[in-house]
């Protein structure tokens, strides 16, 4: 495109040229783009109209909408581009990863699953002789530089996994990061310090996003765990660079999307967790899709209370009793089998070695708190799962952090892992942590790396970190 002068008009019509590749060329020029019968991307349009002396024109022909007040209102939703869709050879590639990994008090990484999940994308970029600039957050430093949230241990682990040194910047957009980036060679990898050391990250500050974008020629988002956040490094950067997904986000949405939209039936969903209010949208959405919905965890007690039963000291949202009733009514109207525990393991206190016993769900005594599903419920759920062909699970079925109340979660996990010819998708977060703790992660079709993101995807919400990517 270098031979074209400012003012060159590009007409995007039906073409065999990959649209992502073409758009990458166009946004680098001071041009006017005419879009005709092409699923133009909102990112490309932003890139074009942000250029000096550039404009965008829509031809009024069948198959293309004339723009309304806002350009993004005219966009046609399509699948997003992935790194393999564009030419990356020798480019500077800015990659948002999710390295928000758990560490012990000595900053030793206790679960490297998210680091391992990013390897296919990073290795692909290295194979294409890219200069790779990685960024991530870790924990919640709330805009302050705190040593305990440094990504230095991640750089060390990533170096080990890649078999080459990952250069670690001492800051995010400061002198150290700038110097490392300037001297970075093709086939080398560097990691910026924790982006949340800057308040501007979570504020999605445009100037901060622009500074981050200055590190790359192309933006790759591979952080599914933060795809539901519109932050500077997950969404803001895409305003200034051509943006595509890495292999991890592609994989996540493939498994979650196919399980939801084209499941082999019977389709069973298992939902755990503390509160009904955290899962309202998910329950509502799943009732439109599943054949059976199993409830466990703390939110089961709100359902019991709504049915008129005593729940003792168990977690219970008194302001959500009508909601629980309406969800049960909706399940009945939709022909969905909504299953609640028939017995529960209760404890006297919230501690690991507390006195405990198993009681019927209708007989929870005063002064006791429900912490797990009982043996009868385990058997009932396993019998139902034996008929399933697709299973999605989000949220533990009990207080799995305490061994005596992890029995239900572990029993269901082990049973699911041993089922044959069944698609099993684990929606990240605590349910994934429980399975990894058992060491049986390889027995499941897919374990998501994103708890909150997978939850919002199951709910049917759009993910800002995906919406900002170039269309294919």
Residues in the chain: 472
For residue 306, give both structure tokens.
């709504």
Structure tokens at 203: 């504020």
Q: Is the dihedral of CA 90, 96, 101, 106 positive or negative?
A: positive
**Is 429 an active-site residue?**
yes
Spatial CB neighbours of 92, under 8 Å, sequence gap ≥ 6: 130, 131, 133, 181, 184, 215, 216, 217, 218
Active site (annotated) includes residue 452:
yes
Catalytic residue among 28, 452, 461, 472: 452
Out of 275, 337, 389, 443, which one is annotated catalytic? Answer: 275
SS3 label, residue 158: helix
Catalytic site residue 275? yes
Tell me how far CA of residue 364 lies from CA of 212, 309, 404, in angstroms: 55, 8, 18
Please tell me the distance from the alpha carbon of residue 197 to that of residue 134, in angstroms, as a whole number: 15
Residue 421's contacts (CB-CB under 8 Å, 6 or more residues apart) are: 389
Distance CA 219, CA 93 (A): 6
Cα 262 to Cα 62, 208, 265, 297, distances in angstroms: 31, 40, 9, 27
SS3 content of the chain, % helix, strand, coil (to 5): 40, 15, 45
On whether the CB atoms of residues 1 and 30 are closer than 8 A, the answer is no
Whether 114 sits among the annotated catalytic residues: the reply is yes
Considering 114, 131, 251, 345, which one is annotated as catalytic? Answer: 114
The dihedral through the CA atoms of 225, 227, 230, 232 has a sign that is: positive
Catalytic residue IDs: 114, 275, 429, 452
């Amino acid at each position: 495109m270098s031979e074209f002068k400012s003012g060159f008009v590009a007409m995007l019509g039906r073409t065999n040229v990959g649209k992502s590749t073409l758009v990458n060329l166009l946004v680098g020029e001071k041009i006017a783009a005419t879009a005709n019968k092409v699923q133009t991307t909102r990112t490309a349009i932003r890139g074009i109209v942000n250029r000096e002396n550039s404009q965008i024109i829509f031809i009024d022909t069948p198959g293309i909408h004339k723009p309304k007040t806002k350009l993004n209102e005219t966009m046609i939703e399509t699948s997003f581009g992935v790194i393999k869709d564009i030419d990356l050879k020798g480019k500077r590639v800015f990659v948002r990863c999710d390295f928000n990994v758990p560490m012990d008090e000595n900053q030793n990484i206790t679960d490297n699953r998210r680091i391992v999940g990013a390897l296919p994308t990073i290795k692909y970029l290295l194979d294409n002789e890219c200069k790779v600039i990685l960024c991530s957050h870790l924990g919640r430093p709330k805009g302050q530089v705190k040593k305990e949230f440094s990504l230095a241990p991640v750089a060390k682990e990533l170096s080990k996994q890649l078999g080459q040194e990952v250069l670690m910047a001492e800051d995010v957009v400061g002198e150290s990061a700038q110097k490392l980036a300037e001297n970075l060679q093709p086939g080398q990898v560097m990691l910026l310090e924790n982006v949340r050391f800057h308040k501007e990250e979570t504020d999605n500050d445009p100037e901060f996003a622009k500074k981050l974008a200055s590190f790359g020629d192309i933006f790759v988002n591979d952080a599914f765990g933060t795809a539901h956040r519109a932050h500077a490094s997950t969404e803001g950067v895409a305003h200034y660079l051509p943006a595509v997904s890495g292999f991890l986000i592609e994989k996540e949405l493939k498994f979650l999307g196919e399980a939801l939209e084209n499941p082999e039936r019977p389709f069973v969903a298992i939902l755990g967790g503390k509160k009904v209010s955290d899962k309202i949208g998910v329950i509502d959405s799943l009732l439109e899709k599943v054949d059976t919905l199993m409830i466990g965890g703390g939110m089961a007690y709100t359902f019991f209370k709504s049915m008129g039963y005593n729940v003792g000291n168990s977690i219970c949202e008194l302001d959500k009793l009508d909601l629980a009733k309406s969800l049960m009514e909706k399940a009945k109207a939709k022909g969905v089998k909504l299953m609640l525990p028939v017995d529960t393991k209760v404890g006297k206190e919230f501690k690991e070695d507390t006195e405990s016993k198993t009681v019927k769900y209708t007989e929870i005594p005063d002064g006791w708190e429900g912490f797990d599903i009982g043996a009868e419920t385990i058997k009932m759920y396993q019998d139902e799962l034996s008929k399933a062909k697709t299973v999605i699970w989000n949220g533990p079925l009990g207080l799995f952090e305490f061994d005596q109340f992890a029995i239900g979660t572990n029993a269901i996990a082990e049973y699911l892992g041993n089922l044959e010819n069944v698609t099993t998708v684990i929606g990240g977060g605590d349910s994934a942590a429980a399975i990894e703790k058992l060491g049986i992660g390889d027995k499941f079709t897919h374990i998501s790396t994103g708890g909150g993101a997978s939850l919002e995807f199951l709910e049917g919400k759009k993910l800002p970190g995906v919406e900002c990517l170039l269309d294919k």
